[in-house]
Chains A and B, each alone.
Chain A
Amino acid sequence: MHPVRKQRLYLVLFVALFSSVAVGLVSYALRGNINLFYPPADVASGKAPTGQSIRVGGMVEEGSVQRADDSLEVSFMLTDYQASVPVVYIGILPDLFGEEQGAVASGVLDSEGVLQATEILAKHDENYMPPEVAYALENSGYDKKGKTK
């Protein structure tokens, strides 16, 4: 290769490498802030701040959803199977919200460790299948990830 071209090739490689390292360092430094939400385990261990708005994400615990009779208030537990965070929310839930499904709640942790949520988002997982397949899996004793229950 012509020496001038070789020099330009090294320059291009240097630019690509240097920018990757720079961005890598920045995202490493900001790694906590890039996460959209705290898992319940972080809330339980006190890593999540109280008194300011945060997001907590996890699975809605089975059998934990309770709705009030006279208002739109709903309470449930968000879990990552290590710890659980109680959530209280007044409002309309997204269609895909349900027990044993992922959800992200944003709100403020009160002094009792209850998340007073102002917004609930349903988190969809990567599993796509027709209803018959889901039904067949349910009956065969495997869950949607193909693991035995």
Chain B
Amino acid sequence: MWTFFHKLGSPPWLYAIAGAILRWLVPVTLVALVGGMVWGLLFTAPDFRQGNSYRIIYIHVPAAVVALAGYYVMAIAGAISLIWRMKMADVVMKAAAPVGAALTFIALLTGAIWGKPTWGTWWVWDARITSMLILLFLYLGVVALYEAFDNKEAAGKACAVLSLVGMVNIPIIYKSVDWWYSLHQPASIKFSGESTIDPSMLYPLLLMIAAFYALFTCCLLMNMRAELLQRESRTQWVKKIAGKESRR
């Protein structure tokens, strides 16, 4: 058990483990994404008020949910790298930031596209949308801050602190629609009590949320592998892999 965790701390092992996970996770993700998309877009009834435009929920909600969860992954990895000085935690943090930024951007973009026909506006500065925009800036901030340092150890520390400070934004985004008057509606999927979305629409949505979690994990692992190769480019094990690839 413990040897497995120790192996995660070693770059060649982490690279191999990530590769082994990706080998089956990528096809599973693709099947779930395509399945959820087809189910949600073609085989569910239109909404009683919004008609077909509600179907953007199958992209918007999963992207937003995973963008929030991904921030915790980044911030907790940052905390681990600060406290235990684990280099591999640093790799996770750096790999998570661009993926989270992309998901946040997708959520904001699909929200705007949905908002125009539904609310009558692309954008409004309400609590939910503004805090989500701050999340995008936090993700981009971590990416930019990392690149701003020449010393990558200092960069990792600065990014970890930034992501820890930004963590307070996540519950604010989540609860913003309950705490303040906002244009954005409250959550339809409820952890306690009955969800206010019909089961026939909810099941494909849950599948899409699971698929986006898997997609996030795939992108994270791929980013980590690329980052590991770059960091360790002078070591023997990377040269061995590079040699194997070039001989093909």
* Residue ranges of A at the interface with B (Cβ–Cβ < 8 Å): 5, 8-9, 11-12, 15-16, 19-20, 23-24, 27, 31, 34-39, 57, 93-97, 101, 104, 119-135, 145-146
B197 proximity list for chain A (CB < 8 A): 126-129
Would A129 and B198 be within 8 Å (CB), given that A57-B181, A122-B119 are in contact?
yes
Q: Is B192 an interface residue (CB 8 A)?
A: no
B198 contacts A133, C-beta separation under 8 Å: yes
Classify chain B's interface size: 35 or more
A19 contacts B46, C-beta separation under 8 Å: no
B79 contacts A36, C-beta separation under 8 Å: no
A131 contacts B46, C-beta separation under 8 Å: yes
A125 contacts B185, C-beta separation under 8 Å: yes
Would A128 and B120 be within 8 Å (CB), given that A23-B172, A39-B181, A104-B183 are in contact?
no
A128 contacts B201, C-beta separation under 8 Å: yes
A94 contacts B165, C-beta separation under 8 Å: no
A87 to chain B, nearest CB (A): 14
A122 proximity list for chain B (CB < 8 A): 118-120
Specify which of A123, A127, A131 is in contact with B119 (CB 8 Å cutoff).
Answer: A123
Q: In the complex, A146→B193 CA distance in Å?
A: 12
A8 proximity list for chain B (CB < 8 A): 82-83
Q: Is B45 an interface residue (CB 8 A)?
A: yes
B50 proximity list for chain A (CB < 8 A): 96, 124
Specify which of B126, B164, B179, B200 is in contact with A16 (CB 8 Å cutoff).
Answer: B164
Specify which of A34, A121, A130 is in contact with B47 (CB 8 Å cutoff).
Answer: A130
A94 contacts B198, C-beta separation under 8 Å: no
B214-233 vs A, Cβ < 8 Å mask (1 yes, 0 no): 00000000000000000000
Q: In the complex, A122→B185 CA distance in Å?
A: 11
A126 contacts B48, C-beta separation under 8 Å: no
A94 contacts B124, C-beta separation under 8 Å: no
A14 to chain B, nearest CB (A): 10
A132 contacts B45, C-beta separation under 8 Å: yes
B83 contacts A36, C-beta separation under 8 Å: no
B185 contacts A126, C-beta separation under 8 Å: yes
B188 contacts A126, C-beta separation under 8 Å: yes
Q: Is B196 an interface residue (CB 8 A)?
A: yes
Q: Is B84 an interface residue (CB 8 A)?
A: yes
Q: Is B180 an interface residue (CB 8 A)?
A: yes
A94 contacts B120, C-beta separation under 8 Å: yes
B119 contacts A130, C-beta separation under 8 Å: no
B121 contacts A130, C-beta separation under 8 Å: no
Would A126 and B187 be within 8 Å (CB), given that A8-B83, A95-B117, A121-B121 are in contact?
yes
19 A-B pairs besides A23-B172, A36-B124, A127-B197 with CB distance below 8 A are A12-B79, A15-B161, A19-B164, A19-B165, A19-B168, A24-B168, A34-B127, A36-B182, A94-B118, A94-B120, A96-B118, A121-B119, A121-B120, A125-B185, A126-B197, A128-B201, A129-B197, A131-B45, A132-B45
A31 proximity list for chain B (CB < 8 A): 180
A38 proximity list for chain B (CB < 8 A): 181
A95 to chain B, nearest CB (A): 6
For the complex of A and B, list the 3 residue pairs with the smallest distance between their C-beta atoms, beginning with the closest.
A94-B120, A130-B45, A134-B48
Would A12 and B48 be within 8 Å (CB), given that A27-B172, A31-B180, A94-B119 are in contact?
no
